[in-house]
């Protein structure tokens, strides 16, 4: 078994794939090309040990055309190609393996298509015989590149095989055309191909010879084409799976690691959420303890700040006639009475404030005080030597509250 760099296979028709001979060409490490025909794939696999395998379907199984498209982004180009192929093919694009080349400066590109099931069957047979294909090329791709330095200038490589004419017209373009059995000579075939060729492009016909001998000076070899840049899509072919046997276990371990990480993140998130809920309940309890008048706590921090600021400014509306509420309200209502209050007396829901001797409020201060008190839900009544403050409802508590008395010397409540 010889070691070769590249093995190229011209596959037989798909309808009798297993019983037809296989045409092969291979390149040795020294760069010399050889060709032969084997009775089956097993003999081809036993003849050489290639580093790379390229195959092309039989011309009867693949179709080629050249279409014209406007400049399109890559994500829309394939959709446009499939739409054009749908008008020419006998099957829907979903059942075809469609490959296409780059768009030329003239706005044209080469496209080839083949039945996807037939292509998968060919790739499966190659793999089973130990010949996993790395690329599936259109048949003209194996012909010499017209733009190679070894090719005559401005000529296209052509070959006649099994009633088909193969022509490579450029780096990534070619023609597949059926030729009747009575026209299997280069002159008649060229006459049929001339309408499909670019203007004034001559053909260089290459004979297919199983006994090709590079020592006869025939250059380049018939199957030595280079520079072809596109292939038929192979999908999830078995050969690709053989190239990377480590890929499936790696994907499995990566998925398992991701699942463990997600589980850990979910547990941590649930723990943090439980701690946040406990902290919120604790803050709500503290707010209710500090401000008993609050019945519902929705945002503990915000409500605590608002209630604190309201207490500082005396802006809390008094709804209950208790001692603490009335004292807080009086502190906001009497900012100018600093040093003028002699005593406080709380009885029956009323707070009595006594001035020091000689202290009194002006008429304007009295009106302003009454207006502010009404806004806070308080009723203020002036009497000799002081004033009496109570809730505006005037409702005395059902239970008699014990008198509370506070004396202040030189300071307001």
**Hey, how many other C-beta atoms are within 10 angstroms of the C-beta on 129?**
17
Task: Summarize the confidence of residues 110-130 as an average pLDDT.
Answer: 92
Cα→Cα distances 105→68, 74, 108, Å: 11, 16, 7
Are 49 and 3 in contact by the 8 Å Cβ rule? The answer is yes
**Segment 317-352, tens digit of pLDDT:** 555 566 777 777 777 677 656 667 788 888 877 888
Task: Summarize the confidence of residues 14-23 as an average pLDDT.
Answer: 85
pLDDT at residue number 136: 94
Task: Summarize the confidence of residues 234-253 as an average pLDDT.
Answer: 61
Highest-pLDDT range among 54-58, 153-157, 254-258, 370-374: 54-58
Q: Is the pLDDT of residue 62 over 80?
A: yes
pLDDT at residue number 115: 93
Q: What whole-number percentage of the chain has pLDDT above 90?
A: 24
Pairwise CA distance, residues 246 & 253, whole Å: 11
pLDDT at residue number 110: 94
pLDDT class for 102, splitting at 50, 70, 90?
Answer: very high
**DSSP 8-state class, residue 356:** P
Stronger pLDDT, 85 or 355, i.e. the higher one:
85
Enter the tokens of residue 208: 């297919």
Coil, strand or helix: which one is 217? coil
pLDDT at residue number 142: 92
């Amino acid at each position: 078994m010889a070691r070769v760099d590249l093995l190229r296979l011209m596959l037989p028709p798909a309808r009798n794939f297993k019983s037809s001979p296989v045409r092969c060409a291979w390149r040795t490490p020294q760069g010399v090309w050889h060709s032969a025909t084997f009775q089956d794939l097993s003999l081809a696999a036993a003849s050489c040990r290639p580093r790379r395998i390229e195959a092309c379907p039989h011309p009867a199984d693949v179709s080629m055309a050249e279409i014209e498209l406007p400049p399109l982004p890559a994500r829309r180009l394939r959709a446009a190609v499939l739409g054009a192929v749908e008008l020419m093919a006998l099957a829907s694009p979903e059942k075809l393996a469609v490959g296409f080349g780059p768009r030329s400066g003239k706005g044209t590109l080469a496209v080839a298509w083949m039945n996807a099931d037939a292509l998968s069957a060919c790739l499966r047979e190659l793999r089973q015989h130990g010949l996993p294909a790395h690329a599936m090329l259109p048949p003209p791709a194996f012909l010499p590149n017209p733009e190679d330095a070894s090719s005559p200038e401005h000529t296209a490589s052509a070959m006649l095989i099994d009633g088909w004419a193969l022509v490579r017209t450029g780096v990534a373009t070619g023609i597949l055309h059926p030729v009747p059995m009575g026209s299997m000579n280069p002159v008649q075939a060229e006459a049929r191909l001339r309408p499909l060729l670019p203007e004034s492009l001559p053909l260089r016909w290459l004979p297919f010879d199983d006994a090709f001998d590079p020592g006869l000076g025939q250059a380049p070899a018939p199957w030595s084409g280079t520079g072809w840049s596109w292939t038929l899509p192979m999908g999830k072919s078995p050969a690709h799976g053989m190239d990377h046997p480590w890929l499936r276990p790696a994907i499995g371990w990566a998925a398992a690691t991701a699942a463990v990480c997600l589980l850990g993140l979910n547990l941590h998130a649930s723990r943090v959420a439980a701690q946040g809920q406990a902290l919120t309940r604790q803050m709500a309890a503290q707010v209710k303890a500090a401000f008993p008048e609050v019945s519902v706590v929705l945002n503990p921090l915000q409500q605590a700040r608002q209630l604190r600021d309201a207490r500082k400014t005396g802006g809390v509306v008094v709804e209950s006639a208790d001692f603490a509420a009335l004292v807080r309200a009086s502190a906001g209502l009497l900012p100018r009475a600093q040093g003028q209050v002699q005593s406080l007396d709380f009885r029956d829901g009323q707070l009595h404030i006594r001035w020091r001797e000689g202290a009194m409020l002006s008429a304007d201060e009295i009106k302003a005080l009454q207006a502010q008190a009404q806004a806070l839900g308080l009723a203020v009544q002036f009497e000799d030597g002081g004033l009496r403050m109570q809730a505006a409802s005037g409702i005395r508590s059902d239970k008699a509250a014990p008198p509370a008395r506070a004396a202040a010397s030189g300071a307001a409540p």
